[in-house]
Structure 1
Amino acid sequence: MLSTFEQENPWLVPVAKLEGKTLMEHLYGRFNGMYPYLWKANFTDMDAITDWEISWAEAFADEGIKPDDIATGLKGCRTMFPKPPSLTEFLGACRPYLEPSTAFHEAVAGMQARAKGENFTYSHPAIFFAAIAAGQHDIMNGSYVGMQERWKKTLAAQLAKKSWPEIPAPVKALPPQVVSKAEAIKENKKVMQMVEEAVSVKPGLSWVHNVFRKHKHVGMFSLNRAIQTAIEHDIPIPAEVRA
């Protein structure tokens, strides 16, 4: 009789398409075929096989592993592991995109696409939310070498959550506004005026700025006096006044 855990774990339930075998029994057969003699040597009796099935099935359920992930892991085993992999090694092979450096570069690509208002399909939602938690600016402008430890911790923290909200749609970038040359000149004058007004005026010397603003309409004596005062008090002299 199956325990409550075994009844609830989909990896331990018989599957009709597998002729009544469980997914774990099917995986056992795949490993046995990939590693002749080496695989069976890990198990001294049926209890050992049962223990393996239950412990790995529990890990698959906890990590949200899907059959497609198992297929990816088995394919990776062909080139990654000359000997049967441990549970940790196999989990990594099932989701190579969650390897920190790979996930980081996917996060960068995703943030760059979203900055343009483009959709991006993430291999795993934790990559997106880890990028947000680490900081979009740092992700897009930093390097993996510089952010390695921080990124590993952030990604691990997100993966530990087990569930994530839906990734929000990117905000479409607004098209650049077309401005005529005349409008650009007018806007530039406004900006320059704002800059001038933002310059702190030393107490008692506001008259110097007033003379400079009206330099075309003041006498040479007043203008020269204003220039001399500006030099003495480190007040910027406009280029048009110097001309």
Structure 2
Amino acid sequence: MLRELLNAAPRAEQGDMQKALRALELYLEKLERVGPGGRVSPSRSGEEIPRLELWTRGFADALDELEESKFCAETFGRGIHASFVEEMSPEERLKYRRYLYFYKNAFIRVFSILDKLGYFLDELYSLGTGKVKARFSYFTVLRQMHDRKVEVKLEERLYELKQKYQEPLRRLRSQRNMEIHLLNAEMVDDMIRVKRQTHADGRQKVENVLQNLSDLALSFEMVCRTIAVVFDHTKGSVRTKG
């Protein structure tokens, strides 16, 4: 949809996103074949199929929205060259504002998808993470899987991905927290320190756009690979009647 607004060619599904969408598609096909006596996990029966189907289709839609936001951030980000906002032409400043909009939209969606995936895993495998932490994240669910020794092979693969992409995810999560959470004392201190470093001469310094886009691309890659791993594994737990 957003590509049309930018007069860009339609997306060709390929790479990690294609694998993730294919894993979701195959899982949905398996769910459709589950009869009343079938099971979708060691502890879940086929009676919950409609909800699982809805969640799975939601992941496909969310991936599409994330990729479109990433594409727009990259498109507008390529037009940012000035080191300070005050040095920008009106055209470049407009591109910068659009870049920021889609960049923020994208990194918020990265963690939204991961957290929804955490709730999916928590529900599917009856992890009871909510008893440990009322409002939990995907990373809390990974710890719960590890502590309870649930789906050990899956948890190990997901942990490897988490570790591999730890640094770009950490940087994006810090920005996400600044964007959407209430400010605590530590965050205020961070903001004051950054302001002192970047506004010493009264000008507004432009953040490292290339670094931000690289972190976003790597985090998108992590999300796609994580979804592919989860649904490839989960598909194997689906047992049709008989």
TM-score range, shorter chain: under 0.3
Query: Structure 1-normalised TM-score?
Result: 0.23
| Structure showing greater Rg | 1
Instruction: Looking at secondary structure, tell me which structure has more helix per residue.
Output: 2
Query: Structure 2-normalised TM-score?
Result: 0.23
Q: Which structure is higher in RCO with an 8 Å CA cutoff and minimum separation 6?
A: 2
